[in-house]
C-alpha cells in the first residue's frame, strides 16, 4: 500500500473533550487523517478556542463547523481545502439540534466532499436528517466534481433504516475492506458499530477500521472508538458505490 496515493478520512466522536484531552490528541495523531470528521465538538464556553486547541494538539486545522450541531471538519497541513460550508438541519421539537459540516478537500490527487454527521437517537429524526444531508451534498459534489464521503456517528447499526438508506448510493467502507472487528461503542467495551465512513462512486476503498494505538489512550480519550478509511480516486483499485 502506497499511502501517498490516497486520502485518509477519519471520524471520531470526541464527547465535547470532557475526557483526557492529551490521550485524545495522541489517538488522533495515530489516526494520521488527511481529513477528520468530528462529532460532539465543543459547543459551549470557549467553543472556538477549544476546537482550535483540539486541532492544534492533533497537528490539524479547523476547516468548518458551526457552534450548534456539534460537528466539525479538520484537515491536515498537506490537505488542500477547496470549499467549506456548514448547515443546521431541520429542527424536531424536544430533540437536540443537529447539523452537518461539509468540506471539499483534495489530497494526493483524490478530491472528496467530506461531511461530518451526528444523527439523532430518535429514528424518525435520523432518517429525515439522512435524506436532508444527501440533498445538501449532491449539488456540492457535482459542482466541485468531488465524490461524497459521509463520516460520523450514525447512532444505529448496519441493516437499520439509515444505514440501508446511505448504502443505496454509497459504500460502507468497512464492509468493503475491513480492518479489525469494526465495533466502535463503547470505547471500553465495544459491542456496536455506530460510527462509519460511507464513500460514493468514483472512489475505491483500500482499508477501513480502527487505529493501532495504546488501549489506555483509546479508553481515556472519549466514549467512542475512531474509524479511519483510506480512499483513492478510481483507477488504481476496484470502484465502490453506485453514485449519490
Q: What is the pLDDT of residue 3?
A: 53
Percent of the chain with pLDDT over 90: 93
Find residue 81's DSSP bridge partners.
105
The residue to which cell 470502484 is assigned: 239
Q: How confident is residue 5, by pLDDT bands cut at 50, 70 and 90?
A: confident
Q: What is the CATH number of domain 8-233?
A: 3.60.10.10
Q: What is the pLDDT of residue 17?
A: 97
Q: What is the pLDDT averaged over residues 45-49? A: 95
Integer Cα distance of 196 and 101 in angstroms: 16
Q: What is the pLDDT of residue 69?
A: 95
Query: Beta strand 148-153 with 110-118: parallel, antiparallel or unpaired?
Result: parallel
Q: Tell me the domain boundaries of the chain.
A: 8-233
Integer Cα distance of 30 and 36 in angstroms: 12
| pLDDT at residue 240 is higher than 60 | no
* Backbone φ and ψ of 176, nearest 5°: -75, -40
| pLDDT at residue 88 is higher than 50 | yes
Q: What is the pLDDT of residue 237?
A: 40
Q: What is the pLDDT of residue 244?
A: 34
Degrees (nearest 5) of the Cα angle 75, 76, 81? 50
Integer Cα distance of 240 and 171 in angstroms: 6
Helix runs in the chain, H state only: 21-31, 47-57, 123-144, 161-166, 173-176, 215-221
Q: What is the pLDDT averaged over residues 190-215? A: 97
The tens digit of pLDDT for each residue in 136-192 reads 999 999 999 999 999 999 999 999 999 999 999 999 999 999 999 999 999 999 999
| pLDDT at residue 52 is higher than 60 | yes
3-state SS, one letter per residue, for 67-126: CCCCEEEEECCCCEEEEEEEEECCCCCCCCCCEEEEEEEEECCEEEEEEEEECCCCHHHH
Q: What is the pLDDT of residue 55?
A: 98
pTM of the model: 0.94
Q: How confident is residue 242, by pLDDT bands cut at 50, 70 and 90?
A: very low
Amino acid at each position: 500500500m502506497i499511502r501517498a496515493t490516497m486520502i485518509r478520512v477519519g471520524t471520531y466522536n470526541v464527547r465535547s473533550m470532557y475526557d483526557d484531552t492529551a490521550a485524545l490528541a495522541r489517538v488522533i495523531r495515530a489516526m494520521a487523517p488527511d481529513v477528520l470528521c468530528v462529532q460532539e465538538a465543543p459547543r459551549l464556553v470557549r467553543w472556538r478556542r477549544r476546537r482550535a486547541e483540539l486541532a492544534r494538539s492533533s497537528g490539524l486545522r479547523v476547516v468548518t463547523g458551526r457552534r450548534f450541531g456539534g460537528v466539525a471538519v479538520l484537515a491536515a497541513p498537506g490537505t488542500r481545502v477547496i470549499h467549506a460550508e456548514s448547515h443546521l438541519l431541520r429542527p424536531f421539537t424536544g430533540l437536540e439540534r443537529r447539523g452537518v459540516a461539509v468540506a471539499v478537500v483534495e489530497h494526493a490527487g483524490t478530491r472528496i466532499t467530506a461531511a461530518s454527521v451526528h444523527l439523532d437517537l430518535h429514528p424518525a429524526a435520523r432518517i429525515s436528517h439522512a435524506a436532508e444531508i444527501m440533498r445538501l451534498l449532491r449539488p456540492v459534489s457535482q459542482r466541485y466534481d468531488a465524490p461524497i464521503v459521509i463520516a460520523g456517528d450514525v447512532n444505529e447499526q448496519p441493516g437499520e433504516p439509515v444505514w440501508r438508506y446511505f448504502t443505496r448510493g454509497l459504500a460502507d467502507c468497512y464492509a468493503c475492506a475491513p480492518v479489525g472487528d469494526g465495533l466502535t461503542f463503547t470505547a471500553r467495551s465495544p459491542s456496536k458499530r455506530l460510527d462509519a465512513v460511507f464513500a460514493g462512486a468514483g472512489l475505491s476503498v483500500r482499508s477501513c477500521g480502527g487505529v493501532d494505538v495504546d488501549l489506555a489512550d483509546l479508553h481515556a480519550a472519549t466514549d467512542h472508538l475512531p474509524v479511519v478509511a483510506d480512499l483513492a480516486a478510481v483507477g488504481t483499485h476496484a470502484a465502490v458505490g453506485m453514485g449519490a
